[in-house]
Homo-oligomer: A and B are copies of this chain.
């Protein structure tokens, strides 16, 4: 099929408005599941464009753009910022703060580029509204909160997203990635890893440092758990499959001459295959429990912190999309890439209704202030902030191409 590329065209007015949106969003980031102002801002813009809107999952917004008969297509943009102190030196840098669950006030920054995602989504909504003549069908815009904590997609689904919005036949989403200027990068099949994070509280028995036989030493026990956990990847995962089991934190003890009563550590598991994930998590539970038994300690407490689902690109839908993106952006601008071990909760939105989805990365252009040799500041860096252009235009063209490829048959 062929896209009417005229519909993608951004006039100077469009571009100016888009940049204004972006600067505003970048300067006003909010923490996950607290995106109240961002939600109000999006709601106002969508309503103004004439979309049907509703709040969903707390601070999530859905905008439905109906345009006659035809396919229903979903498009998702995530909206939350991060507890990072921005250090980009930009005139539109964030100076806002937020409050963590434990009450701490922290600086907040759009350190993962979700501001570009919202801007691209709103701009696509505007273009599609203005050119209802060029397509036919329905687009469901999903502005999802809480991606960073893996909470938002689940919250929207549980709040009845698919009871309230028309069911799409496919859902698209994309993420800005620094350094890929002008291109999109897509994986066929698995696109991003599942990620599961747990907190493990290891209970022992406190005693003076000179009385180990009166203790159950939770630090020695924790150390043996960490050592033993290494065998999951080294011996239990098929050598040609991928899994990472990282213990990101370990904390126990207050004073060198006291064996503490407990210790705790967190573990982060990344896998691509559901089978591998199940085996790794099962082995983790088995090892943690058995090592406690080996120490004569009580059963450790395992708390799930976050769980990011698989992000799987339907292969046939991905091939179709790559073909049409190649036409619009140029063959060289569409790169098939292997899956990445990063994680996303995007996949949950389509999984909930059993429809295909495709997710890709679009190029964020590094700030001009960087000299040529400097490494590009990555996502979650205090220096992260792609240059506004061509970043945003690339994103809009990719989003519009994907949407029009499904509804542009008018």
Contact = CB atoms under 8 A, between A and B. Distances in A.
Interface of A: 193, 195, 197-199, 209-213, 215, 217, 219-220, 222-224, 226-228, 230-240, 242-260, 263, 265-268, 270, 283, 286-287, 289-291, 293-296, 305, 338-342
B338 A240 contact: yes
Contacts of A248: 209, 219, 253-260
A182 to B, nearest CB: 25
Given A219-B247, A219-B248, A239-B270, 16 more contacts: A199-B256, A210-B340, A217-B246, A222-B223, A223-B223, A223-B224, A230-B234, A231-B295, A239-B244, A240-B338, A249-B254, A249-B260, A251-B252, A255-B266, A256-B267, A256-B305
A256 B305 CA distance: 9
B243 A249 contact: no
B209 A268 contact: yes
Contacts of A254: 248-249
A212 B249 contact: no
Contacts of A233: 233-234
Q: Which of A226, A236, A246, A255 has the most CB of B within 10 A?
A: A246
A301 to B, nearest CB: 15
Contact of A249 (B238, B256, B338): B256
B212 A234 contact: yes
A14 to B, nearest CB: 36
Nearest to A269: B209
A294 B228 contact: yes
A58 to B, nearest CB: 23
A215 B247 CA distance: 12
12 contacts: A197-B257, A210-B246, A212-B235, A217-B246, A219-B247, A220-B227, A222-B223, A222-B250, A239-B270, A250-B263, A251-B252, A283-B296
Contact of A234 (B198, B219, B232, B249): B232
A293 B293 contact: yes
